[in-house]
Amino acid sequence: MIAGRKDRFAIEAEPEEIVDGWALGKIRFWIGGEPVGNWEDTADLKGCAGWLRDFASKPRDRFEPSLEAATPQEVFRRVYDPIMAGSDGGIPIREAFARFHISHLGMSSLELYDLLLVKDANGGERCLWRKTGEDLVRECHLWRNEMENVASDFCDRFDREILGKS
């Protein structure tokens, strides 16, 4: 099952086993045409859907004026590294982890990736990611609320197609 567009942003899941209220399987993101996630990992798909539903229904303030013109590497240096790598990112950004970090949405399947989502003044989205431990930061520009809309669609389809809810 795929929600969204692989060439922009999509969420792909493949259930492997549904037993005793658990839905176990594979999940990954597609960002700008690239697969992001460990497709060999088995994740709790219901847990992922819960995180994605929360992400879609409870938007956060992901706009920070000082990041709008920042390079992808600068965004990571200011938002990710001070929290996760313990390095000095310069001027602290208020609630940076809660506002910009999104790796948890795919649970263990995204453990090998560092993912950030920042928005511009008009709500346009910049999804930035890198493999954990690597320096190369990739970036994909998305439409206003595109990730949230895809996450919402994924959750609706997951409920219908995988869990059989109407």
Hey, what amino acid is at 67?
L
Cβ pair 129, 31 in contact under 8 A: yes
Distance CA 49, CA 106 (A): 9
> Average pLDDT in the 104-110 region?
83
pLDDT band at 88 (very low <50, low <70, confident <90, very high): low
Q: What is the pLDDT of residue 165?
A: 83
Q: What is residue 140's three-state secondary structure?
A: strand
Task: Give whole-number Cα distances, 135 to 132, 155, 165, in Å.
Answer: 8, 32, 43
pLDDT band at 36 (very low <50, low <70, confident <90, very high): very high
Cβ pair 102, 66 in contact under 8 A: no
Cβ pair 76, 116 in contact under 8 A: yes
Distance CA 50, CA 83 (A): 25
Q: What is the pLDDT of residue 21?
A: 77
Distance CA 134, CA 149 (A): 29
